[in-house]
């Protein structure tokens, strides 16, 4: 980390954007902007609508990020390979939406290969479960023989889907989840999927990187929402 001072956010109730300008984010590590604050629905929605997301490991303070460049996917640019299309056409999976949100998050939180760390801490699980209750966070589930084998989750604000994580337990399950997610989002006139950070997996599906300045312009265009109100939807 460089000698730049990390901005500290006071953990308090908020009514407006509590974050510093994203231009103040570190270049290394790329996008680190601030620490502290809370993971309440109000804090999270303010973060996303300003191009910021939380990302920290268990035992660390809350860390907030806004990387440059930003990985995004435009729904019309989704890439479905011939092999993936064959998998989808076989109809070997059952797809559901918002039927097992917590299960998807817990599966995404499971340790990955060669690593025991997870950034989806119990605190994060509670925070996004609250957003799910309020109709902001959503999941796609992929089932095989009644077993959850893949999925993806994220939040929707305005006409943008902010992707958080995905998982698979059998080959192609997460890719199928992502394709079905895009199909559903297109029906809802979603204009942009925020993928946060580039990965080979996402790039193979059509994700690309754009400058943070361009991402902020897209936020201003498509993330127009009313102020968040703490009201849960009926389940």
pLDDT at residue 3, rounded to an integer: 67
Whether 144 contacts 131, CB under 8 Å: no
Q: Which of 5-9, 11-15, 149-153 has the highest mean pLDDT?
A: 149-153
> What does the pLDDT average to over 158-162?
97
Chain centroid to Cα 175, Å, comes to 15
Residue 93 and residue 75: Cα distance in Å, rounded? 22
Indicate the fold that domain 71-222 takes in CATH: Aminopeptidase (3.40.630)
CA distance linking residue 71 with residue 203, whole number of Å? 9
pLDDT range class, residue 178, cuts 50, 70, 90: very high
The pLDDT-based confidence of 234 (bands split at 50, 70, 90) is very low
Dihedral of the alpha carbons of 6, 12, 15, 17, in degrees to the nearest 10: 10
Q: Which of 190, 198, 199, 186 is nearest to 218 (CA)?
A: 190
pLDDT digits (tens, 9 = 90+) for 114-132: 555 677 989 999 999 999 9
Whole-angstrom Cα distance, residue 73 to residue 67? 16
Query: Residue length, the chain?
Result: 235
Percent pLDDT > 90 in the chain is: 84
Given this model, what pLDDT does residue 50 score?
A: 97
Q: Which CATH number fits domain 7-68: 3.40.50.150, 1.10.760.10, 3.40.50.261, 3.30.70.3550?
A: 3.30.70.3550
> Would you list the domain boundaries of the chain?
7-68, 71-222
């Amino acid at each position: 980390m460089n000698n730049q001072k990390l901005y500290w956010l006071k953990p308090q109730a908020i009514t407006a954007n509590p974050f510093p300008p994203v231009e103040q984010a570190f270049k290394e590590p790329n996008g680190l902007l601030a620490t502290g604050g809370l993971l309440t629905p109000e804090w999270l929605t303010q973060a996303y609508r300003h191009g910021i997301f939380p990302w920290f490991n268990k035992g660390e303070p809350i860390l907030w990020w806004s990387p440059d460049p930003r990985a995004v996917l435009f729904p019309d640019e989704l890439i479905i390979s011939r092999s993936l299309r064959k998998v989808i056409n076989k109809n070997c999976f059952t797809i559901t939406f918002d039927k097992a949100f917590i299960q998807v998050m817990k599966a995404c939180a499971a340790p990955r290969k060669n690593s025991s760390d997870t950034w989806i801490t119990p605190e994060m699980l509670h925070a996004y479960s609250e957003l799910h209750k309020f109709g902001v966070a959503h999941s796609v589930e992929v089932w095989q023989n009644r077993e959850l084998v893949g999925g993806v989750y994220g939040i929707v604000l305005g006409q943008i889907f902010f992707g958080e994580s995905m998982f698979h337990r059998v080959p192609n399950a997460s890719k199928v989840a992502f394709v079905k997610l895009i199909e559903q989002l297109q029906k809802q006139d979603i204009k942009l999927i925020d993928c946060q950070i580039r990965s080979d997996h996402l790039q193979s599906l059509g994700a690309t990187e754009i400058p943070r300045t361009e991402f902020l312009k897209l936020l201003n265009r498509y993330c127009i929402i009313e102020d968040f109100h703490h009201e849960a939807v009926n389940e």
